[in-house]
Structure 1
Amino acid sequence: MADEALKRVRTHLKESLTETVIKQLLDDLKDEKVFGDEEVESILQENLQRADRARCMIDSVTKKGPTASCILIDKLQERDKNVYDKLELHKRQTQHTPDSRKPAVGPPPEDEPMNKVRKNTQKRVEEKVSSSSRHEIFSPSPRQHEKEEYTMSSEPRGVCVIISNEHFTNPRLNREGSRKDADALEDVFRFLGFKVEVHKDLTAQKMKELMREYSEQQHDGDCWVCCVLSHGNSEGVLGCDVNLCPTEDIFSPFNGKNCPSLLGKPKVFFIQACRGSKRQEKLVISDDAVTPDTEKESYSIPKDSDFLFARSTVYGYEAYQSPEEGSWFIQSLCRHLREGSEGGDDILTVLTRVNDEVSKKEGKVKDKKTRQLYDAKETPISSFTLRKKLIFRKP
């Protein structure tokens, strides 16, 4: 069956599929009615790493049954024949009926006696695993009394890197408001006790190299912050040479495996850039409401723990900035970071206030093609793998 074939090559597919092919396949699956718009957007927004997107896509398709899996395999043959041939998917498929190309809705039908055998076998395996791991799952955590807030006491607190791309090889793309944002970020993170390092007008390749260089350094501070100000699209941000630097090349150098000195420490990324050319729709609503450290223990955490990603806008949409005042997102962020540090607010509370403030902003922007004015609306978005409260406390 096609779903079984996908499961057998799941790991290899996760490692082999490129970001471009993943997005092509998601579009294909949406066109074939295997996925809806919300499912595709969820896969893209909730999985920041390429491998995680591939895994989520494959798992979601196999859960829909053999017919949906068959469609994915067919589309993979069209989009990346090298991977298709390398994994010998044409041999692994045991059933493929061209006339049955309708995505399954709900659980796949159990129309064969063999399915009952498989189900019983799977049940016995699950019962065995559940029985053998019951103590591990239900036993109280040895770390239940561990401090719930990240340490933020080193001097300096850590390094804050600001990449500000203001001047581009195509002068029409120059971002005059970027200097205003970079200055505001520099001021607030110096106020918060960070060592601030500003890099201006970097090419895409230089941005990648800079991230690798920082990841190879010894980080003795309690936190790492990176702010990127540039143009962008759904896949990443632009260097001043108008080439693309994928967001994965910005984030991944700092995971626990690639950057051991930041293992267990918060790694925070603020990105001011468009993520597409779509525009937010304007809707009207009524608003009804306005310790001491314990003894250290050894434990393991996933390599992608302790990240926070805050972006100026949701996937596929534009973000806005003014040459005179800077961007909506960064200016609001800096203001609420300063106020939040004085009030002892954690970063998620701060970002929620930023989301609320930016979402309520309104503006008029001239369309570059039609020269007509349109309503400008924007909502930032954040995702995180933080394990504790992160509070930027003023030294």
Structure 2
Amino acid sequence: MDPDACLVMSGFPGGASSSFFVHVFRNQTKRLVKFPEIRTALAEFSSPQLAARVLANEGRLLKETGLQVSSLEPLLSPKEDVTTQHSQVYQLQRQLKTVKQNLQSKEQQLQDVTKEKECLKSAFSRESEAKRSALTKSRKLEEAKVHLKNQAEADKKTIDEELRRKEEQLQQVETVNESLQAALRRETEAKNISFNLSQRLEEANSHLKDELEAEKRENERMREQISATHDLSNPYEMSCDPRGVAVIINNIRFEDMADREGAEGDTGRLREVFEGLGFTVVTFTDLDHAKMVAAMKDQGKADHSNHDCFVCCIMSHGTMGKVFSSDDVGIDICELIKPVNAMKCPSLKGKPKLFFIQACQGERIQRRESFDGDYDAKPVPFICHEADFFLGLATVPGYVARRDGDGAPYVKHLAKLLRDFGPTHDLSAIMSMVCDKMNEINDDKFGWISSNHSTLRKNVIFKAK
């Protein structure tokens, strides 16, 4: 970084937000180091001149954006002050040494005066004039001695005070220097953290890019496969808005049968995809026998003249040809389909009626191994004898259906593939892909495959409006 082009920004709303910084300065910066915990960022501008202009307008910037701006110079210049203070202390030490030498010289002079005084006293007895002269000189010497002593003490006190003041200044400079070193260490650590985060983000972006590319290639492969095997020139009419009603029944809690743990999220997955395809979604949870039958009869009595299609998704325990209500009553799938056939519901005549069942259809397990996990299950054959019906099963008749701790794989694949291909591809092709995805489940002991039963006369394509 160029220190002359760097400014410290503080006062970001809700943390040092890159989007807020870009909104204020647009593309005027080369680099931004964020410190979200203290709502501060270190910004390197494109040139020192631009940084100087921003610093010159710090009052206007604070008023308009709430950001406080400062340069790095106050953080860096104290190093020069430390050097200056050391030089001043050195000069004071030299001055103190000189004063001490002068004091020693004056003490020597005082000793000489004392000797001279002794000589004068011995000569006092020899002559009175010499005595008076000696007394006069002695008084003068005493006065000089006192004056020199007082002056020396005053000079010593002044020097001691000045030395103490310089030592305090030196301690302050050392404290500032330690603070600056700590700030530099924190800045270095922040730069290292920022660099590590940048590397991790690049690796994550690369990984996501590879996954997206792989998914894109898989989607293209499926589209090519579908285009080569399905004629889309004869679809059912799909022009109404809303396209139709989608009923979702998810029985999770039961009276005596085991609860279907992990199934809670399947309702949301199906709701999202069918709302995205233009349906009015109606959801039910834990319906007993009477309420399940009533819910389907209500749809049979409703007027679907302004709809193109009807969808029903049922998730529960089951046995062959049946699904269970929350009060543990097995209901024939054909009995649930009957209220919306052409005779019971004329407004749905000639329109596709689609049923998707996530429930076991028996107790047998696909492949030979025994099964000791949760399944929705007991055996009876069924078939629809009327046109324009589609029945998608999460398993094949006579076998258990898989359900994981976070939901049913059949529901996950159905929702994703309808969302990705529903507006452009025929339902039968999409359900073939669902079957393929179920078959790809990585399970060393068991095999999983879905099945479909259709009397549709045309292609079902949920074209975008």
Q: TM-score range by the shorter chain?
A: 0.5 to 0.7
In the alignment, structure 1 residue 195 sits paired with structure 2 residue 280: yes
Cα distance, 1:276–1:393 mapped onto 2, change above 3 Å = same
- Structure 1 position 235, deviation (Å): 2.8
Does 2:408 correspond to 1:338? no
Question: How far, CA to CA, are the matches of 1:214 and 1:391 in structure 2?
Answer: 22
Alignment of 1:194-233 (within 5 A): 194-219=279-304, 220-233=306-319
For 1:280, the equivalent position in structure 2 comes to 366
Aligned partner of 2:258: which letter? L
Structure 1 length normalisation: TM-score? 0.53
Q: CA deviation at 1:254?
A: 1.3
Gaps of at least 5 residues in structure 1 are 1-146, 284-301, 365-374
**SS state at 1:387 partner:** coil
Cα offset, 1:282, TM superposition: 6.9
Kept in 2: contact 1:306–1:387 (CA 8 A): yes
Q: CA deviation at 1:303?
A: 8.0
* Larger RCO, structures 1/2 (Cα 8 Å, 6+ apart): 1
Residue 237 of structure 1 corresponds to 323
Q: Note the aligned Cα RMSD (angstroms).
A: 1.9
Q: Is the 8 A contact 1:156 1:193 kept in 2?
A: yes
1:230-309 equivalence runs, <5 A: 230-281=316-367, 304-309=386-391
Q: Please point out which of 308, 325, 328 is paired with 2:409.
A: 328
- State how far apart, in whole Å, the 2-side matches of 1:303 and 1:261 are: 19
Letter in 1 for 2:437: E
Secondary structure in 1 matching 2:265: helix
Structure 1 residue 386 and structure 2 residue 456: aligned? Answer: yes
Q: Secondary structure at the match of 1:317?
A: coil
From the CA coordinates, give the structure whose radius of gyration is larger: 2
CA contact (8 A) 1:231 1:274 kept: yes
Q: TM-score, normalised by structure 2?
A: 0.45
Q: CA deviation at 1:275?
A: 0.4
Task: Tell me the alpha carbon deviations over residues 313-370 of structure 1, each in whole angstroms, 9 at most, x when there is no partner.
Answer: 101000011122x10111100111011125x110000000000010121337xxxxxx
What is the DSSP-based 3-state SS (H/G/I as helix, E as strand, rest coil) of the residue aligned with 1:173? Answer: coil
Answer whether contact 1:191 1:394 (CA < 8 A) is retained.
no
CA distance in structure 1 between the aligned counterparts of 2:321 and 2:440, rounded to whole angstroms? 27
2:266 paired with 1:186: no
Candidates 160, 174, 183, aligned match of 2:259:
174
Provide runs of 4+ in structure 1 moved above 2 Å: none
Q: Tell me the distance in 2 between the aligned counterparts of 1:257 and 1:166.
A: 32
Partners of 1:231 and 1:273 within 8 A in 2: yes
Give yes or no for the alignment of 1:314 onto 2:396. Answer: yes
The superposition leaves residues 271-291 of structure 1 with CA deviations (integer Å, 9 ceiling, x where unpaired) of: 0000011000179xxxxxxxx
1:191 positional shift: 0.6
Matched letter for residue 398 of structure 2: G
Change (3 A) 1:383 1:235: closer
Residue of 426, 430, 433 corresponding to 1:353: 433
Determine the structure 2 residue equivalent to 1:120: none
Which residue is 1:153 aligned to? 239
Q: Partner of 1:376: helix, strand, or coil? A: coil
Q: Counterpart amino acid of 1:204? A: H
Separation in 1, partners of 2:266, 2:457:
29
Aligned residues: 218
Q: Counterpart in 1 of 2:447? A: 377
More helix by proportion, 1 or 2?
A: 2
Superposed CA deviations along residues 111-147 of structure 1, whole A, max 9, x for unmatched, are xxxxxxxxxxxxxxxxxxxxxxxxxxxxxxxxxxxx7
The residue identity in structure 2 corresponding to 1:227 is: C
Structure 1: which amino acid aligns with 2:245?
Answer: V
Q: Secondary structure at the match of 1:339?
A: helix
- C-alpha separation in 1, matches of 2:290 and 2:464: 35
Q: Secondary structure of 1:337's match?
A: helix
Cα displacement (A) at 1:206: 1.6
Deviation at 1:247, TM superposition (A): 0.7
Which residues in structure 2 correspond to 1:76-95 (within 5 Å)? none
Secondary structure of 1:274's match? coil
SS at match of 2:319: coil
| Conserved 8 A contact 2:422-2:430 | no
Q: Distance in 2 between matches of 1:185 and 1:383?
A: 20
